[in-house]
């Protein structure tokens, strides 16, 4: 009896305040006082899946971003920042609400590579009703881990002509089509989506509705709103991970100030305005030194323009034509061509502005409603402001008595080679003339010698 008591005391001492438990398999284990022993690891896992205490420790969260309009460089930066934030927060996934007519092919490639290489699940939700995932949006939607569409939305028309704009020769166009087709095929295969339709979206410009997209396995779900999407995604397996999105907290990530600003200045019409402001400002400062404001505005506009040009595929020929137009405008100020150079500059400027953004997608190109007014304003600017300003700055300078040469006045008395006087600009001057001038006769000043003016009668000028 004593041996049993000592043995029990020894066991209690070794295990502290724990209790020794013998499970059904004959193994021993310890448990804190008041705890219920777990009979199997599988049972514990089942408790978690059913929303037990461990599952309720952390409320699932998702991050949501909104992408509207053309796909450009700022969109790629926005997605990258949002993906980093979602990873830092430990979100269940990142959801992109998408509505785009298309965008730049090189930016689309960067976004697709980002999606395919992401460990964090990414969902693309084409919404709201009436939205479109056209062109570049088709590639992005297919590349997502989860793809969904709202009712009355569409997807497709991913031809590279729509995505890249411009005109290419037959061989180059064929190469672009072949690349785009193989690219979208690899994306569809990676996400186990309808490969044949994906290829037809590039090859034939095929476009389908959201209902058709779900039926033929282009997208995964048809969701009425974001809550419906979260409900349908719950339990969906992505990268061997079962999504927990039911009732998840939504963290919306808006675009920051820098993304909004640079997205704004990269619009073609804004780039055209920056081009005009840089031209007007710099030449306005040259023609009116010391004005400061035109020069500062012109330099800032030029820097922003160069930033936009570096990020966007601007047509170089169009840029050169605009530069040539400026040269012709400036030459008009010093060459008596009676508007010939001005007209040539107007044509060069119009064609340059027309070509400047032709390599962009159709929805990002400039309309005539922007190009024609810009051309007219530029011609008027150079014809009036710059013409007189540049001539005043770089023309022959005249000051003091030199300004009297060429002026006309009336003889106050008889003027000959020795005597005579005239009134000019409120002052009485001695005057001499090789031809006799009668009192009251009109004369022209031809030279200034000290305080004496050399004049000649106007009738003599007409005879000569």
Cα separations (Å) of 391 from 81, 223, 279, 370? 52, 68, 18, 30
User: Domain of 237: which CATH number?
Assistant: 3.90.226.10
Q: Which of 379, 394, 409 lies at the terminal end of a domain, its last residue?
A: 394
Q: How far apart are CA 169 and CA 147, in angstroms?
A: 35
Q: At what angle do helices 340-356 and 316-332 cross, to 10 degrees?
A: 160
- Tell me if 133 sits within 8 A of 155, measured CB to CB: yes
Tell me the per-residue pLDDT of 324-369, one tens digit each, with 9 for 90 and over: 988 888 787 677 677 788 888 899 999 988 888 776 666 667 788 8
Domain count, the chain: 3
Pull the structure tokens for residue 190.
């990676």
40 lies in some domain: no
Instruction: Return d(Cα 105, Cα 312) in angstroms, integer.
Output: 11
Residue 362 falls inside a structural domain: yes
What is the spatial distance between Cα 241 and Cα 248, in angstroms, rounded to a whole number?
16
Burial state string for 431-448 with b = 16 or more CB within 10 A and e = fewer than 16: bbbeeebeeebebbbeeb
Going from the C-alpha of 436 to that of each of 404, 419, 422, 445, 448, the distances in angstroms are 21, 10, 14, 14, 18
Residue 53 lies in a domain: no
Nearest alpha-carbon partner for 64 in 316, 330, 255 = 255
Q: What is the CATH number of the domain that holds 420?
A: 2.40.50.140
Compute the C-alpha angle 51/46/50, nearest 5°. Answer: 20
What's the pLDDT score for residue 350? 92
Q: What pTM did the predictor assign?
A: 0.67
d(CA 93, CA 124): 11
What is the dihedral sign for C-alpha 367, 371, 373, 374? positive
Q: Say yes or no: 383 and 429 in one domain.
A: no
- Whether 415 and 455 map to the same domain: the answer is yes
The dihedrals phi and psi of 431, each to the nearest 5 degrees, come to -135, 150
Each residue's pLDDT expressed in tens, for the chain with a length of 464 residues: 444 444 445 444 444 444 333 343 333 343 333 333 333 333 333 334 444 444 445 789 999 999 998 898 899 999 999 999 999 999 999 999 999 988 888 899 999 999 999 999 999 999 999 999 998 999 999 999 999 999 999 999 888 754 444 444 567 677 888 888 999 999 999 999 999 999 999 988 899 999 999 999 999 999 999 999 999 999 999 988 899 999 999 999 999 999 999 888 888 888 889 988 998 888 777 767 777 888 899 899 989 988 887 777 777 888 889 889 888 887 876 776 777 888 888 999 999 888 887 766 666 677 888 889 989 988 888 877 665 655 555 555 555 566 777 788 888 888 888 888 888 877 888 888 888 888 888 888 888 887 788 888 887 554 44
To 10 degrees, the CA torsion angle through 136, 142, 147, 148?
A: 50
Domain presence at residue 66: yes
Q: pLDDT for 366-421, tens place per residue? A: 788 888 998 998 888 887 766 565 555 555 555 556 677 778 888 888 888 888 88
The reply to whether 198 and 248 lie within a common domain is yes
Q: Which domain holds residue 438?
A: 401-463
Strands 421-424 and 427-433 come out as antiparallel
pLDDT score at 394: 52
The verdict on 249 and 134 lying in the same domain is: yes
Q: Which residues of 408-417 are buried (b: 16+ CB within 10 A; e: fewer)?
A: ebebeeebee
Same domain, 208 and 236: yes
Q: Does the residue 38 lie in any domain?
A: no
Q: Pairing relation of β-strands 442-449 and 408-410? A: antiparallel
Instruction: Please state, in angstroms and rounded to a whole number, the distance separating the CA atoms of residues 85 and 252.
Output: 11
CA-CA distances (angstroms) from residue 1 to 6, 11, 19, 21? Answer: 9, 16, 21, 22
Using DSSP's 3-state secondary structure scheme, residue 205 falls into coil
Strand pairing class (249-252; 61-68) = parallel
- Looking at the structure, tell me whether residues 292 and 432 fall in a common domain: no
Beta bridge partners of 126: 98, 149
Whether 152 and 75 map to the same domain: the answer is yes
Predicted pLDDT at 266:
83
């Amino acid at each position: 009896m004593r041996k049993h008591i000592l043995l029990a005391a020894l066991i209690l001492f070794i295990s502290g305040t724990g209790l020794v438990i013998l499970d059904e398999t004959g193994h021993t284990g310890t448990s804190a006082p008041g705890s219920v022993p777990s009979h199997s690891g599988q049972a514990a896992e089942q408790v978690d899946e059913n929303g037990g205490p461990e599952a309720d420790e952390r409320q699932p969260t998702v991050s949501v971003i909104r992408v509207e309009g053309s796909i450009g460089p700022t969109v790629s930066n926005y997605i990258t920042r949002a993906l980093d934030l979602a990873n830092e927060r430990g979100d269940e996934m990142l959801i992109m609400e998408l509505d785009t007519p298309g965008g730049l092919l090189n930016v689309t490639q960067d976004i697709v590579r980002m999606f395919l290489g992401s460990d964090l699940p990414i969902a693309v939700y084409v919404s709201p009703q009436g939205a479109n995932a056209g062109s570049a949006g088709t590639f992005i939607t297919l590349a997502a881990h989860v793809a969904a569409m709202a009712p009355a939305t569409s997807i497709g028309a991913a031809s590279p002509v729509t995505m890249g704009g411009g005109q290419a020769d037959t061989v180059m166009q064929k190469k672009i089509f072949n690349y785009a087709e193989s690219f979208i095929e690899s994306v569809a295969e990676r996400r186990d989506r309808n490969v044949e339709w994906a290829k037809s979206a590039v090859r034939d410009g095929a476009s389908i509705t959201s209902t058709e997209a779900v039926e033929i396995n282009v997208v995964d779900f048809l969701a009425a709103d974001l809550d419906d999407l979260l409900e349908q995604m719950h339990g969906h397996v992505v990268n061997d991970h079962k999504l927990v999105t039911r009732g998840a907290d939504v963290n919306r990530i808006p675009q920051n100030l820098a993304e909004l600003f640079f997205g704004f200045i990269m619009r073609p019409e804004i780039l055209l305005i920056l081009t005009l402001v840089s031209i007007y400002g710099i030449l306005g400062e040259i023609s009116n030194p010391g004005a400061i404001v035109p020069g500062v505005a012109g330099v800032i506009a030029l820097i922003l323009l160069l930033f936009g040009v570096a990020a966007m595929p601007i047509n170089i020929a169009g840029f050169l034509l605009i530069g040539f137009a400026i040269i012709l405008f400036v030459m008009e100020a010093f060459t008596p061509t009676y508007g010939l150079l001005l007209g040539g500059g107007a044509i060069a400027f119009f064609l340059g502005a027309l070509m400047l953004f032709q390599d962009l997608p159709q929805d990002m190109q400039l309309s005539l409603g922007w190009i024609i007014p810009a051309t007219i304003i530029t011609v008027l600017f150079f014809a009036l402001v710059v013409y007189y300003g540049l001539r005043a700055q770089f023309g022959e300078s005249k000051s003091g008595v030199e300004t009297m040469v060429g002026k006309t006045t009336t003889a106050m008395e008889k003027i000959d080679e020795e005597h005579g006087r005239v009134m000019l600009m409120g002052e009485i001057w001695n005057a001499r003339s090789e031809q006799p001038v009668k009192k009251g006769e009109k004369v022209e000043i031809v030279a200034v010698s000290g305080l004496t003016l050399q004049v000649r009668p106007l009738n003599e000028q007409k005879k000569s």
